[in-house]
A and B are shown apart, each in its own frame.
Chain A
Amino acid sequence: MKTRITKILVGTALVAASAATALAVPTVSRLTPPSLLFSTGEAGAPYIARFLPGQRFDLQATIRPDVGQTITNASFLIDNKPVTGSVTLIPCDLNVPANTVAPTVRAVSLHRPGVHTLTINALQSDGQTVSARGEFEIVSIERNGRRAKNIIFMIGDGMGIAHRSAARIMYKGVYMGKSLEPLEMDDMDATALVKTASLNSIITDSAPGAACYSSGNKGNNNQQGVFPDDTTANFDNPRIELVGEYLARTDGKSLGIVTTADVFDATPAAFGSHTQNRGAGTGICDGYLDEQVAKANLTVLLGGGRKWFLPNTTAGSARSAANDSVLSTELASAWGVATGVSDPARDLLADFQTAGFTYTSNKTALAAVPATTTKLIGLFALSNMNVAKDKIDGRRGVIPTGSTQSVVADYGFPDQPLLDEMTTAALRVLSKNRNGFVLMVEAASIDKQAHNMDSERWLLETIEFDKAIGVAKKFAEKNNDTLVIVTADHECAGVNIIGASTVTNAVLQAKAAQGGGAAALRDSVVGVYDAASFPSYSIAADGYPVTTDIDYKMLIGYAGNTDRYEDWLTNPRPLRDSQQPFNGLAPLNTYPNGPLFRDTAGGFLITGQVPLAAQSAVHTGSDIPLTASGRGASLFRGVVDNTDVFFLAMQAAIGGVNSDDERPRHPMFHQQH
């Protein structure tokens, strides 16, 4: 295998080096869908691009003409047969020579399973021609057994194995070597490990990390629902039909998107947008209405991010022409969507309401949504929602020392729902579609708080997520044609459980205040192996820990860390979020501005392994766990690629599963945790 990897890398270099010399000019520098055959010259598995039978995707090549020449004609062939549909020559403007163009054919689909060859032929103005080949696979879907009508993706953003283990220790307890109870995400029928690399890196970000589940294909970092191209335009990349769009078109299912982040954030948007720029919030959110409602039966959209839905004449709006989308006529026509206009003054929220959506802006209103509601949009903050710890503290009336009100009140949104409450509301609406639905529920701040190395905040976020999983499982028990998949998009921060404190909370508080540095806060506090014993947390009636600052508390380390001060104590306030409307104003200006401006009194500086410029801990490349229950869960086993998850879910939804594969786990697993 090592030899093969080396060969591939050398092959890539040779293609690049020879592009302008040994090969004919003009040259083909990119062929989409991507393939090893085009990039390395080697045919065969693994096939980089794979699609469902009938799933639509775009064909594109980037062709660089000789100096002073132009490309006058181009055509695509699949399996040596001409592709029907007009070829558009899209001008390229991203680090390419003059007159470079991207011949494109939109919304192609094939039904015959197997490997197919793709050929591009192009003619230059002086009569020279160029040709290149690639390949892709149409995945076979076996039609046998009963189908999963509803698919629920539960995504704990950044949630690796250690996030789950730590949440189990805190939430359910471990004693004498055994977990006293399983997490909801533990107590599921099937388990797999998922590999997470993106198309251009071993370390993915959330955009392609989630889009692999919605499209079945790898993407470059920062890109979702598309393959990379050589233009600067954010919304013109070669598209891949998403799970919501495909199942709405073929089966009449609905789509729901629920997140604790701003709804334009990468994971939710990976299930409802096609863009090379995960930051293009205005265009992404416009697309939820203009494309996803129309093409994916989007009927539930819950999260933060109200700032994209308000006209820029309303204070707090973030709508801007600079990140809006205006599609080309050829793209819009082929995919059957509107081109859209640049409209920062659009009242998108009013447009959603005109389209029949019920709008809710806080927990109280969400709880009062009529049972007859068929379309629901809930935007509970201008940007990201607050995290579980701060929402719970707000409900408990906890006021940080030195403050006059709770953290959620400081943010201006004191009545935000928890993720399980949002999931309940989403399922109530989505279950009205007799054809079924696809629902994506994201616990976004497991990732965001792991980036901040704020252990207690991502721990409570994971507990909140587990409660939402419980809601999904309960729905699946009542509706046994439902598949529930629990996973992440990547691991964040290199989290692990390094042991437990050897001192009481009172002693730890004193050490943190006294400033003894590593000698005080590491050498005389961190208990490893036997000294860690079994930290024991009490759970309050609201289902969350009474306090996370117990005596002999669990301690967390970070392998993907930047420099930080650490005192192991729960931070009364989260780090600042630059996207919050009152960031920089009192009282949010009193919140720490990074991990070097927190826990400083103890003087225990932990030097990071990540450049300081990263400003926070980073994603890592380790595999992530997946557990699944319900119809088709047994398909998920072994070590799989993240794109496999899409195809396995679609096997359950389209092809069905044999009843032999639906056997429950051995009862022994329900007794031993």
Chain B
Amino acid sequence: MTKSSSLPLILNAGLLAGFLYISTVAHAKNLGWNADTLSQELAAIKHLQPAPKGVTHLAFNEFFASPISSRGLEYTTTIKHLEGQRVRILGFMVKQTRPSPGTIMLAPYATTTHEGEYGLCDDLPPATLFVHVPKYADLAVPFTPGPLLLTGKLELGPHQEPDGRVSHVRLVLDPEADTTISDPVKTATTTN
């Protein structure tokens, strides 16, 4: 049994406002709400500041290389160089019917999994980031819609998660998030 948490994630009302602004532009209808594209467009209108010193902004399409090898997906040179370092990424929290304590999944677009009905069978993209929240390891994180800007230490390599999934890219969330976004966006943190 997992306990529910009031953990305030780094969801930011200002960022959401910027996101909604972006979504109203004409081409957003066809593009869909894609986190990497959203990052670029928010940066272009100064709603997303460059990552602070010591932090590198990471995009989902920098996870795996293309063309695809004769077997599975392989890391890009970019992400391999970032292993063990602090990175920042914008994404959407996966809505899970059975969330795991202390972990959320961040995807490049809004999506839902139905573990109760389909188990671990889903169409989650391989470029799904598993976010570990050490400070709240025994709490289930409430679903938070909209774009999330997260900062933490990047881990790579296959790792069995508590729910049985195998993660390949993980973010160990900073205990005190230091994400900075310019006004009107306010910085949110993981502190309680």
A contact set with B: CB distance below 8 Å: 279, 281, 306-307, 310, 312-317, 320-323, 344, 349, 359, 361-362, 365, 382, 409, 412-415, 578-579, 581-586, 589-590, 592-593, 597, 600
Instruction: Please determine whether A581 and B108 come into contact, CB atoms closer than 8 angstroms.
Output: no
B residues within 8 A CB of A315?
A: 64, 72-75, 126, 158, 168
Starting from the known contacts A314-B73, A413-B68, 17 additional A-B residue pairs (CB-CB under 8 Å) come to A306-B72, A310-B71, A316-B64, A316-B126, A320-B119, A320-B120, A321-B119, A321-B120, A322-B120, A362-B70, A581-B64, A582-B125, A583-B123, A584-B111, A585-B34, A585-B61, A590-B31
Measured between C-beta atoms, what is the minimum distance from B65 to chain A in Å? 8
A residues within 8 A CB of B168?
A: 315
Instruction: Please determine whether B125 and A586 come into contact, CB atoms closer than 8 angstroms.
Output: no
CA distance A585 to B34 in the complex (A): 7
B residues within 8 A CB of A583?
A: 123, 125
Measured between C-beta atoms, what is the minimum distance from B120 to chain A in Å? 4
Measured between C-beta atoms, what is the minimum distance from A617 to chain B in Å? 20
CA distance A581 to B67 in the complex (A): 11
CA distance A375 to B18 in the complex (A): 56
Instruction: Please determine whether B123 and A579 come into contact, CB atoms closer than 8 angstroms.
Output: yes
13 contacts between A and B (CB under 8 A): A279-B121, A313-B166, A315-B74, A322-B118, A359-B70, A361-B71, A382-B73, A412-B67, A414-B67, A578-B123, A584-B107, A589-B36, A589-B108
Task: State whether the Cβ of B130 lies closer than 8 Å to any Cβ in chain A.
Answer: no
A residues within 8 A CB of B70?
A: 359, 361-362, 365
Main secondary structure of the interface of B (DSSP, over half): loop
A residues within 8 A CB of B109?
A: 584, 589
CA distance A590 to B67 in the complex (A): 18
Instruction: Please determine whether A323 and B31 come into contact, CB atoms closer than 8 angstroms.
Output: no
Contact of B61 among A322, A349, A586 (CB under 8 A): A586
Instruction: Please determine whether B73 and A312 come into contact, CB atoms closer than 8 angstroms.
Output: no
A residues within 8 A CB of B60?
A: 584-585
B contact set with A: CB distance below 8 Å: 29-32, 34, 36-37, 60-61, 64, 66-68, 70-75, 107-109, 111, 118-121, 123, 125-127, 158, 164, 166, 168
CA distance A307 to B127 in the complex (A): 14
Minimal Cβ-Cβ distance residue in B for A280: B121
Contact of A316 among B30, B68, B120 (CB under 8 A): B68
Instruction: Please determine whether A586 and B68 come into contact, CB atoms closer than 8 angstroms.
Output: no
| Top 4 A-B residue pairs of the complex, sorted by shortest distance between their CB atoms | A322-B119, A314-B72, A316-B72, A313-B158
A residues within 8 A CB of B68?
A: 316, 382, 412-413, 581
B residues within 8 A CB of A593?
A: 30, 32
CA distance A600 to B109 in the complex (A): 22
Contact of A585 among B36, B71, B74, B158 (CB under 8 A): B36
CA distance A583 to B128 in the complex (A): 11
CA distance A311 to B53 in the complex (A): 38
Measured between C-beta atoms, what is the minimum distance from B108 to chain A in Å? 5
CA distance A306 to B126 in the complex (A): 13
CA distance A585 to B68 in the complex (A): 14
CA distance A580 to B64 in the complex (A): 13
Instruction: Please determine whether A590 and B30 come into contact, CB atoms closer than 8 angstroms.
Output: yes
Q: A317-B72, A589-B37, A597-B30 are in contact. Are A584 and B118 (CB under 8 A)?
A: no
CA distance A322 to B158 in the complex (A): 19
CA distance A590 to B64 in the complex (A): 18
B residues within 8 A CB of A412?
A: 66-68
Instruction: Please determine whether B71 and A586 come into contact, CB atoms closer than 8 angstroms.
Output: no
CA distance A409 to B67 in the complex (A): 7
Measured between C-beta atoms, what is the minimum distance from B76 to chain A in Å? 11
CA distance A11 to B38 in the complex (A): 60
